[in-house]
A and B are shown apart, each in its own frame.
Chain A
Amino acid sequence: MSALTGSHHDCQVLVIGSGAGGATTAATLAEAGFDVTIVEEGSWVEQGSVVPFSLEQMQRQYRSGGLTVALGRPSIAYTEGRCAGGGTEVNSGLYRRPNESTLDRWRTTYDIVDFPSDELFAICDEVESALSVQTVPGQHSPASERLRRGAASLGWQHDEIPRWMTYPDGDHAPGQRQSMTRTYLPRALSSGAVMLCEHRVKRLVSDRDRAFRAELTGPGGQPVTIDFEHVFVCAGAIHSPALLQRSGHRGLIGRRLAVHPTVKLVARFDQPINVDDDVPVHQVKEFAPDLSFGGSASQPGLVALALTDNWPEMRDAITAWPEMAVYYAAITSEGRGRVRSLPGLHDPLVTYNLTRRDRDLLGSGLARLALVMLEAGAREVFPSFRGAPIVRQRLDLSEVTRRFAATAASVMTVHLCSTVPMGSDQSKAAADSFGRLHGTDNVYVNDASLLPDAPGVNPQASVMAIAIRNARRFAGINA
């Protein structure tokens, strides 16, 4: 990794953030000959130096150790990567192209110009090649196979989601994650980009419509400045709008946070199925895009976590964690949230309001997911909400629906987007059709913030395709 020393730097293009949006932006621009500096708030953590989905990983690679929450009724816990490579280093690596219908909705509702699907899908082809996106060549994990079996038994649509993984041994274990620190960041660095890790951008300084300087704090808290010609803010759907707000940009920024809220359950089977360092790759799409089912990381600590809402009734099950796995029901939410940077506070205030339809859908989704588990052979199912019954047979499912209240559930999400939506309709969009912030000459956003709404699938393919599209457009104009 390249490094700079000193308290002031100059560059042509500053890229803030090194996740799916920032890394692809930096690589595209560096390879096009631009003088690029990447700033990352977290550390560079080599893969293999930390156990996936562990508390240590949360400490080292997640923002606030994974304890980030959007306040509301209920509050929604979310996680963000805070390390070189961002969320790509810590997520499950599942990859799904945006649907044609989603792209069409974004194009028409937000008046996004020059946004042809075939161009985006061609970029997806490139991304899939660069990241070795593929399905598991060998056997699936037991927990994934159970999910597939349950859906198949019900005749419900399901499929395997490919991942950015290579399988040196030709099987699912040990797969090697092709995250940004293994793919686009090395490409950017080998093309001359330099990277500053453990540097936090406090604000951007502008002269009228043109930003020219970033004020940062370094690893020891020392002040650092970087002057630039152009800046790409790629700090994710929470911290991109927060940085822009701290820099004096308001308007529509941070007002339309969209997420995929999820609720969870634990299923217990008769045989050991727990794999502590991987996640299921199958998803159930019978009710998509409104509702999807999948599997989560299931380390024993995470199994215990999923049982805490009903600990007095469910605690005895914890000793059987090798026979247990955690699954989720995710919805496409009609609710929206806000990100607000408050004076004097280091972090933004994040809020989210589920609609009544969202809350109902979470409840019915959890009951349907429990049905899949019963069909898969689960002997007991433990829904994660206060007052939940233990499900042992179909007759118990109506009780899940009857007792469910979203306010009593541990709702969480990992997909955050839409806080700086793109489009030429300035009544709805905060950035133009190529990510340039409305009202500025040289401030670009190029991450999940740009997605006009939650795509109903894992958003990182959409993020990367749009980021590369926008970076190429920028390079073409500014070459």
Chain B
Amino acid sequence: MIVPTSPLNIEGPFGRFADRLLALELPDLPQVYHDDTVAFICLRVAELPSPLKIGTSVLSYGVGLAQRVAGLDRTTEFLRSTHLPLLAELARMVRSLGFAFVWESWPQTLPSGLQGATAS
């Protein structure tokens, strides 16, 4: 269960990061689909095995601090492009869950997130 204070909550630093990263990588995804996807990502991350959940929570607290100091956009851009161990896994996790959800749910989605009439 997600508790209000969890950093993995949709309103928490991880949720804000997921929201911003998806907006950058799938900018044309309809807002309702975008919101569903962010919610899906946060729900799944909340179900991580406990050691991973603790690690992700600790990282997310740090991300939250960075978001306050450097701003959401700069923090997201850094996490999006970094290859640093552990930190790079946050973006990978968001992409993996998000893209799998988007193309399973709406397989006609174009690379920008725009909804195409047919897949190919």
Contacts and interface: CB of A to CB of B under 8 A. Distances in A.
A92 B104 CA distance: 19
A346 B50 contact: yes
B52 A69 contact: yes
Contacts of A323: 120
A275 interface: no
B51 A319 contact: no
Chain B interface residue count: which class?
20 to 34
Interface string B77-105: 00000010100010010011101111111
A475 interface: no
A301 B51 contact: no
Contact of A318 (B96, B97, B101, B103): B103
Contacts of B47: 64-65, 67
B107 interface: yes
Interface in A289-318: 299-305, 307-309, 311, 315-316, 318
Contacts of A73: 85
Given A75-B89, A300-B103, A300-B119, A386 B111 contact: no
Contact of B107 (A307, A321, A386): A321
Contacts of A316: 111
Contacts of A68: 49
A67 B50 CA distance: 11
Contacts of B66: none
Nearest to A320: B120
A154 interface: no
A320 B95 CA distance: 19
Interface of B: 25, 44-45, 47-52, 54, 83, 85, 89, 92, 95-97, 99-105, 107, 109-111, 116, 119-120
15 contacts: A64-B48, A67-B47, A300-B103, A301-B103, A301-B104, A308-B96, A318-B111, A320-B120, A322-B119, A323-B120, A346-B49, A348-B49, A348-B51, A407-B85, A410-B92
